[in-house]
Every structure is written in structure tokens, then in C-alpha cells.
Amino acid sequence: MTLMVPAVNVADLKDTTLLNMGIFALFVAITMVIVIKASRNNKTAADYYAAGRSFSGPQNGTAIAGDYLSAASFLGITGAIAINGYDGFMYSIGFLVAWLVALLLVAELLRNTGKFTMADVLSFRLKQRPVRIAAAISTLAVCFFYLLAQMAGAGSLISLLLGISDWGGQALVIIVVGALMIMYVLIGGMKGTTWVQIIKAMLLIAGAAVMTFWVLAIYGFNLSDLLGGAVETSKNPNILNPGLQYGKTETSKIDFLSLGLALVLGTAALPHVLMRFYTVPTAKEARKSVVWSIWLIGIFYLFTLVLGYGAAALVGADTIKAAPGGVNSAAPLLAFHLGGPLLLGFISAVAFATILAVVAGLTITAAASFAHDIYASVIAKGKADADTEVKVARRTVVVIGLLAIVGGIFANGQNVAFLVALAFAVAASANLPTILYSLFWRRFTTQGALWSMYGGLSAAIILIALSPVVSGTKTSMIPGANFAVFPLSNPGIVSIPLAFFLGWLGTVLDKRKEDVTKQAEMEVRSLTGVGAEKATNH
Amino acid sequence: MGHDAQETDAAAAVDFKEVQSTEQFKELRKRHRSFVFPLSIAFLLWYFAYVLLADYAVDFMSTKVWGNINIGLILGLLQFVSTFAITGWYVSYANRKLDPIAAEIRQEIEGHEFDQHGNPVGGTTK
């Protein structure tokens, strides 16, 4: 069937490798300069973690979009729609609707109560040490899963550009790319990262807009004809209908529901997204930034629908699956089909910058969480000076980065959007119940928080480890073994309700009562913004 | 950072339990919750109705309405529309009903006004 699709031939890519890489390298060099320039002003901890709280709502909203529109959104969703049709569209919808949870229930209240990390809010009126440690551990776990997905995406992308299709070569690519990304974070801090995210969000949305316009132009701006083209190339009318991927068995249908649950509840519990709300000076700016990002993200996801079906129609699922990078190469291959090596180089560079920016955001969140919540508050018992804290944060960046590289090598070849959905499931299980309970439930106690966080986190991780994602099928991370006793590939439908239940149970069984004064303070602060951290003056 | 410390001190002297029990604060909490809770339940129900339809009512979702565009695609796009609409609605509600009363309470506690960056301007510190 590959012969039926004329324009894209993966072998052609090798002839243009130099040009692709040239455009790509130029772009990476430019972003590097920006990061170095932006990092000159990193003086205090508030600078390093929260960019001095100096960003405006629209700036931060664009940066949030940059943080959120990761390789999963661009490479993953486009690939998922190109191959699985309508079922891939589910990611776009879930990823977007989830923002309403953040907007209505979390963003502003969180901005008003916290300082640097998610743990600031969760431990506000509960016992500091245990809750802080639990929040930091779950932050590290979520960041790890999210990072692993980005590393796998980076591997796919560069392998495609260089035409490397063997496993060892791709592993090497992931190592090099991962090391490069760690460098960025070490140099840039939050301010550098935020600027990369703003620039990259604009380039990504512009690039996707151009490709969308181009694809639609080919089909005379008629969506119906584009869909018809996808059916024709795939020779499968079901690509337009739900169920191509998840409709096969009763188990896979429940898996779809589980995915839907994890997607919609995950966003408002992602530590790296929550941390972005601290880079603005007030709750009102936090609200503005969410609104801004909802619009940008929503419009981008409308583009991915066209790009996904465009790749299905113009490139074809078989060509995509056979290319180095597999399902994640749909968007770059579509770019190559439309605009040749020039557009491929540009789109790949943008995709790479996307991954880079997200990796930076994630590692900085993980590092801040470890340095601020575990090192400064627990190990050094609040006696660490800011310099040591930032030093610890930088070391954490290196460790987290290395772990993600190893994970990325094993996850190579899996759809990036799918991997990110696992991170969403972990976040929604470990963090969301405690965030909501501590903001809205007066009686909530430390024991409830700990049961919910540790219970949700371990349930999610254990179920992923025992799922077909890790073992038991040809596409698993460890294809040789089979210990997949849990049938669903996304654990959300079990672990999220369990975490909510444990939070409730731990609280009603707790004989200790929490400090009512602290509860009053948290409630008043969260709604009014009294005493919230202000912008630092330079 | 000295500025931060000063702010925290000012807030530490406040009797939050007393503020919490004022009618004004209760009104703010009521306005906030009576808006965000029902709306959250509504959009989650609408989202899960959509997911369940895509999961278990494949034939219905595959019904073609216009050319190759089927009900599934239309409902999916309506999820986008509802998300944008709810966002707009909440922002207008928060600007009209929540922000003024929150600002009043904050002024009473902190005794000074804030510029758009949240820094105190004019007025005197209590």
C-alpha cells in the first residue's frame, strides 16, 4: 500500500538530512542564546523558581500553552488521529476540557495560597513535614512519567531526521538529546525556560496554522473532502468513527473510559502546570493566564484534527508506521509532504523546541520540589540558604534528567500522547483529591492527605507496572516478559476514585483534628488574596 | 525579599477566624461555590456523556450528517465550543461578582490599596 501514496518516501528524507539538520541546528542555537540572556537576572530563589513573579497574564498564558502543548499534543495526537482516526481526537478533547477544572476550581485559589510549589498549598493547614514529603514524591513521580514521554518523542523526531531506524542508534540519539536538554535547564532557570516556552508556543501554533491552512487548501477548504481523502488512503471508512482503537473488546472500551477520566482530571494536578501560576503577580493575572492558554490550546487542538486526518490522507498510516519514529512521525512526514525539506526542518525544529521547553519546565518543577520541599524544609529544617537550595535544585535536575533518559530509551516507539496520558493518570490519582479536599473540605486532615496521596500514587504506578504497557505484548516496554495481570493500559478508572475514597476514609478515621485557625487563614487567603506573595521588585 | 517578609507579617497579625465568620466573607464564599460547583458538575457530566457515547454508541456517533461529517465529530467540536463558552462566562462572573467583594475584604484587612501588580499604593499601612 505504501506504493499507492506517491509523494512521501522515507528514503528521500536521507538525501535532505543535511538541510534538515542545518535549519534545526540554527534554531537550537538561537534558543540557547535566548536562554543564556534571560538567565542573567536569576538572583533569588523566587527568580530561579518563579521568575520573580514578574510575568503578565497573557505572557504566562502563552508560556502555559508552551508548557502544555508538548510533543504529546503535536507529534502524539497527530499520529494518533492519523492511525487510529477518531479515537485519537479524544486526546484533544480531554486535554482541553481538563482546563476547566484548573480554571474553575484550582488556579486562582492556588496562586493565593502558595509560594513556589504544589506542596506549599497542600501542606498549608496540615502537618508540614509528612505532607510536604508526600507532595514532593508525587511531584517527582509525575514529572518522571511526563519526561519519559518527552524523551521518547525527542528520540522519534531526531531518528526520523537522521534516518536512524535501529534500536541502538535511537537509544544513542535519546542520550545525546537528553543531555542537551539538561544543559538548557541548568543554565536557564525559570525565566529562561519561560521565554523559551513563549517563543516556542508562538512558533508551534504558527507552524501548525500554516500546515492546517495548507492541508485544507489542498481539499478546497472542505473538511468533508479531507475526511473523504483519509478514508480513501486508509481504505477504511471506520477511521472517521469512534472505536477503531478502543472499540475492539469490552476491556478496551473500559480502557477508553479510563483514559477519558485521567485526561480530564489530570491537568489541574500537574505540578509543572500548577507551578506556572506562581510566575504571575496576582490571582487575577492567574485567571487571565488560564483564559489565554485555554484559547491558544483549544485552537491548536482544532489544528491537530486537520493535521491528523491530513497525515492519514496525504501520507498514509502504513508509511507513518514504517518510518523511523513510527506513529510519532506523522506530523514531520506531513510537513515533508507539503513543503519538502525546508518545512520539515522548520517543523522538526519547532517540535524539538517544544520538547525542550517542556523538559525544561518539568525538570525545573521536579528540582524545585526536591530542593524546596525535601531538602530545605525537611533535611535542612529551613536552615538552608538560598544558594545551597538552588545548588541542590541543579543537582536534582541532573539526576532526574538521567532517569528520564533511561526511561525514554525503553519507552521509545510508544505513542507520546499515550505516555503522557499515564502521567496524567498518576497526577490525577496522587494530587487532585488532596488539592480539592484541602481547598474545599473544612474537615480534611493530614491522615486523609497522606492516605490519598500515597494510596493514589502507588495504585497508579503499580497498575501501570502490571499493565500491558510494560509487559505481555509485542509493543510493551519489556516485550520478552509477561506479568501483565491488570488488563487496562491506563489505570485512571481504578486509581483516581480510590484516591478520592482514601482521602475521605483517612479523614473520617482520623482522631486528630487540624488547626481551625490555619483552615480559616487558608480559606480567607485563597478567596481574597490577602498576604499573597507579590512580585519581587528589582 | 524584605518586602515579602513585611507582607507576611502584616497578614500574620490578622484574625482569620474572625474574617471567616463575617457576613461579607460568607457571601464571597457562597458566590464562589454556588457558581463553580454546579458548573463543574455540569461540564463533567457533558464530557462523560460524550465519552460514553463515543465508547458505547458507535453507530449513533457514526451517523453521517453532512458529507463525511458525522455526529461524533460534531459533538466533539461542541466540546470545544462549550469549553470556550464556560471560560467566558466564568471570567465575566468573577469580574462582576467575586473580584469587587474580595478586594473590599482585602482592603479592610491590609488597610491599603494595590496597583495592578499587587504592590501597595497610597493609603496607610495599619
pLDDT, residue A48, reads 57
β-strand pairing of B64-66 with B69-70: antiparallel
C-alpha to C-alpha distance for A506 and A494, rounded to whole angstroms:
18
C-alpha to C-alpha distance for A395 and A400, rounded to whole angstroms:
9
Number of C-beta neighbours around residue A509 at 10 A:
11
Residue B8 has pLDDT above 70, yes or no: no
Size of interface A-B (CB pairs under 8 A): 182
C-alpha to C-alpha distance for A466 and A236, rounded to whole angstroms:
33
Q: B104 CA to chain A: closest CA distance, Å?
A: 9
Would an 8 Å CB–CB cutoff place A264 in contact with chain B?
yes
Would an 8 Å CB–CB cutoff place B25 in contact with chain A?
yes
Instruction: Answer for the pair A142, A430: CB distance below 8 angstroms, yes or no.
Output: yes
* Chain A residues close to B97, C-beta within 8 Å: none
C-alpha to C-alpha distance for B21 and A314, rounded to whole angstroms:
64
One of 1.20.1730.10, 3.40.50.2000, 3.20.20.70, 3.50.50.60 is the CATH number of A10-236+267-412, namely: 1.20.1730.10
A 202-241: CB under 8 A from B: 222-225, 227-228, 231, 238, 240-241
Find the closest chain B residue to A258 by CA distance: B51
pLDDT, residue A277, reads 80
Q: B114 CA to chain A: closest CA distance, Å?
A: 10
pLDDT, residue A334, reads 93
Would an 8 Å CB–CB cutoff place B71 in contact with chain A?
no
Mean pLDDT across chain B:
82
pLDDT, residue B28, reads 93
pLDDT, residue A537, reads 45
Q: Is A512 helix (H, G, I), strand (E, B) or coil?
A: coil
Would an 8 Å CB–CB cutoff place A517 in contact with chain B?
yes
Question: B7 vs A533: CB contact, 8 Å cut-off?
Answer: yes
C-alpha to C-alpha distance for A282 and A286, rounded to whole angstroms:
6
Question: B67 vs A90: CB contact, 8 Å cut-off?
Answer: no
Q: Grid coordinates representing A97?
A: 476540557
Question: A96 vs B25: CB contact, 8 Å cut-off?
Answer: no
- Write the single-letter amino acid at A426: V
What is the ipTM for the molecules in this complex?
0.87
pLDDT (average), residues B4-23: 67
Segment B29-87, tens digit of pLDDT? 999 999 999 999 999 999 999 999 999 998 999 999 988 899 999 999 999 999 999 99
Helical (H) or strand (E) element with A436: helix A432-440
Sign of the C-alpha dihedral, residues A512, A517, A520, A522? negative
Q: A285 CA to chain B: closest CA distance, Å?
A: 9
Among A90, A524, A538, pick the best mutation site for testing chain B contact (most B Cβ within 10 A). Answer: A524
pLDDT, residue B119, reads 53
Helical (H) or strand (E) element with B114: strand B113-114
Residues 6+ apart with CB under 8 A from A325: A155, A156, A157, A159, A160, A332
- Smallest Cβ–Cβ distance between B99 and the set A86, A284, A536 belongs to A284
* Chain A residues close to B20, C-beta within 8 Å: 520, 523-524
Q: B79 CA to chain A: closest CA distance, Å?
A: 7
Of B83, B40, B53, B38, whose CA–CA distance to A95 is shortest? B83
Q: Grid coordinates representing A186?
A: 541548568
C-alpha to C-alpha distance for A190 and A51, rounded to whole angstroms:
5
Instruction: Answer for the pair A495, A460: CB distance below 8 angstroms, yes or no.
Output: yes
- Smallest Cβ–Cβ distance between A524 and the set B25, B47, B94 belongs to B25
Length of chain B: 126
Residues 6+ apart with CB under 8 A from A392: A370, A371, A375, A376, A384
* Chain A residues close to B1, C-beta within 8 Å: 44, 46, 536
Find the closest chain B residue to A441 by CA distance: B33
Enumerate the β-bridge partners of residue A458. none
Q: Is A168 helix (H, G, I), strand (E, B) or coil?
A: helix
Q: Would you give the end-to-end CA distance of chain B in angstroms?
A: 21
Residue B3 has pLDDT above 50, yes or no: no
Question: B16 vs A520: CB contact, 8 Å cut-off?
Answer: yes
- Smallest Cβ–Cβ distance between A517 and the set B16, B84, B116 belongs to B16
Q: B74 CA to chain A: closest CA distance, Å?
A: 12
pLDDT, residue A14, reads 61
- Per domain, the residue ranges of chain A are 10-236+267-412
Enumerate the β-bridge partners of residue B64. B70
C-alpha to C-alpha distance for A63 and A201, rounded to whole angstroms:
7
Of A428, A313, A289, A408, whose CA–CA distance to A358 is shortest? A408
Enumerate the β-bridge partners of residue B114. B120
pLDDT, residue A128, reads 85
* Chain B residues close to A97, C-beta within 8 Å: 43, 47, 79, 83
Q: Grid coordinates representing A279?
A: 510566575
A 268-297: CB under 8 A from B: 281-282, 284, 287, 290-291, 294-295
Q: Residue holding cell 461524533?
A: B72
Question: A104 vs B39: CB contact, 8 Å cut-off?
Answer: yes
Of A80, A202, A96, whose CA–CA distance to A153 is shortest? A80
pLDDT, residue B5, reads 39
Would an 8 Å CB–CB cutoff place B73 in contact with chain A?
yes
Among A528, A533, A537, A538, pick the best mutation site for testing chain B contact (most B Cβ within 10 A). Answer: A528
* Chain B residues close to A532, C-beta within 8 Å: 118
- Smallest Cβ–Cβ distance between B16 and the set A104, A247, A524 belongs to A524
pLDDT mean for each 10 residues of chain A (538 residues): 45 67 77 72 59 72 85 87 90 93 90 81 88 91 88 81 79 84 74 77 91 93 89 86 83 90 92 82 84 93 94 90 83 89 83 81 84 81 75 84 87 80 92 94 93 96 89 77 86 95 95 86 87 56
